[in-house]
Structure 1
Amino acid sequence: MSPFSVVSSGDDPSEETTGAPDLGRLLRRSASGDEGAFGELYDAVSPRLYGLVRRVVRDPAQSEEVTQETFLEIWRHCARFDPRRGSALSWMLTIAHRKAVDRVRSAEAAVRRDETWHATSHEAAHDTTAETVALRLDAERVRRALDTLTDAQRGALELAYLSGYTHTEVASMLDLPLGTAKTRIRDGLIRLRDTLGVGS
């Protein structure tokens, strides 16, 4: 049976008396193949993950697809969750945000391909071509620099600078103290600066 077809844990009356579920424990149980635990996990965090994805992707149908892709990745890789590196919610939100950003980038790349096709169907001026190449090289440098960050740093930076959230919102979404969120963003920026050689 697929882990996405499990019965909602909301049918269990004991849930009402136990309070918020232990997401880390549910991830560990899911890692051992416990589909019931994964169902509880899905019920507990799917509104939060969908809300984050929707803010990035905008389109409701695509947001639903990205949310399902997020849960599929969580199911496949929940054994990789390390509570020493952050909360379970933060780990899952980071996956959701990365998936959402990837979907937006993919859509933007498709638009750029269309625009490029239309542009190249006419004779391009030499300086325009050179500018396009320079922009692509800069974008590739930034992508490589982002790959040098830790998942925690990259997730916080993407929320703050690609999605436009405030530091307080980033801290709330990643279930972190405000100071920790600011530190991740600052450290990520410093590492990006050093990798790109900005100011050197």
Structure 2
Amino acid sequence: MTAARGTNEYELWARAVEGDAGAFGELFDEHRDRVFGHALRSLASRHDAEDATAIVFLELWRHRRRVRVVNGSIIGWLLVTTNNVCRNQSRSARRYRLSLAKLSPEQTHPDPSDELAVEIDRARNAPGVREVFSQLSARDQDVLTLCVLEELTNAEAALALRIPIGTVKSRLFRAKKRMAELMVQSAPDTRDQWSLS
């Protein structure tokens, strides 16, 4: 799979790896929207998705000597890293909420507009699907992200995940099955929000 505008990123990435900030900026411009969109599907708000996007590209820069271009693009690495960052942010948010819950009601003064913003984001971003997706293992999330959401081939996903194609196929089968089971257990309207075919 090539980059969104049909460019081959091997040369651009080679320059970025050597510290060329301009080349890295071009790659950021190329993939920022896809990373943000994927983060937004996983998290509860645009603000959190923006934070996740920034962290993903910071990680890309930090680990640039280890990142592989797969079929002309680094998007596979970016999306798997986005999953990891979103999981970390969700865990941090849960710990923060638990800490707040331990405070007495007199010590907290929630802003009603915060709750409204969260509800709007939930309605906009298929919360049932997001919640079901978050219940899957990291491996399941990664293979579904690459093969279903981003429509990479099994071979492309195998390169991005550094596993054999056969492993991708079996993980994808099991991940789809597990996702379908969880969706059946959740609210009936959730099943129509995300196609796994």
TM-score normalised per structure 1 = 0.53
Aligned-pair CA distance for 1:21? 2.2
| Equivalence for 2:14 | 28
1:29: Cα distance to partner?
1.8
Q: 1:33 to 1:54 in 2, by over 3 A?
A: same
SS in 1 for 2:152: coil
- Preserved contact between residue 156 and residue 185 of structure 1 (Cα < 8 Å): no
Deviation, structure 1 residue 34: 0.9
Matches within 5 A, 1:90-169: 90-115=76-101, 155-159=138-142, 167=144
Match runs of 1:183-194 below 5 Å: 183-185=170-172
> Does the CA-based 8 Å contact 2:56-2:82 persist in structure 1?
yes
User: Distance in 2 between the 1:74 and 1:183 partners?
Assistant: 28
Question: What 5-or-longer segments of structure 2 have no aligned partner?
Answer: 105-136, 156-164, 176-197
Q: Which residue of structure 1 lines up, in the alignment, with residue 153 of structure 2?
A: 177
Deviation at 1:117, TM superposition (A): 5.8
User: Aligned pair 1:72/2:58, yes or no?
Assistant: yes
Which residue of 2 is the match for residue 126 of structure 1?
A: none
In the alignment, is the contact (CA less than 8 A) between 1:90 and 1:173 conserved in 2? no
| Structure showing the higher helix proportion among its residues | 1
Match of 1:130 in 2: none
1:138 corresponds in structure 2 to none
The residue identity in structure 2 corresponding to 1:72 is L
| Aligned alpha-carbon RMSD (Å) | 3.2
Instruction: Quote the Cα distance in structure 2 between the aligned partners of 1:170 and 1:74.
Output: 18
Q: Which has the higher contact order (CA 8 A, sep 6+)?
A: 2
CA deviation after TM superposition for structure 1 residue 79, in Å: 1.1
Q: CA deviation at 1:176?
A: 2.6
Larger Rg: 1
TM-score (norm 2): 0.53
| Equivalent residues, number | 128
User: Which stretches of structure 1, 4 residues or more, deviate above 4 A after TM superposition?
Assistant: 83-87, 178-181, 185-188
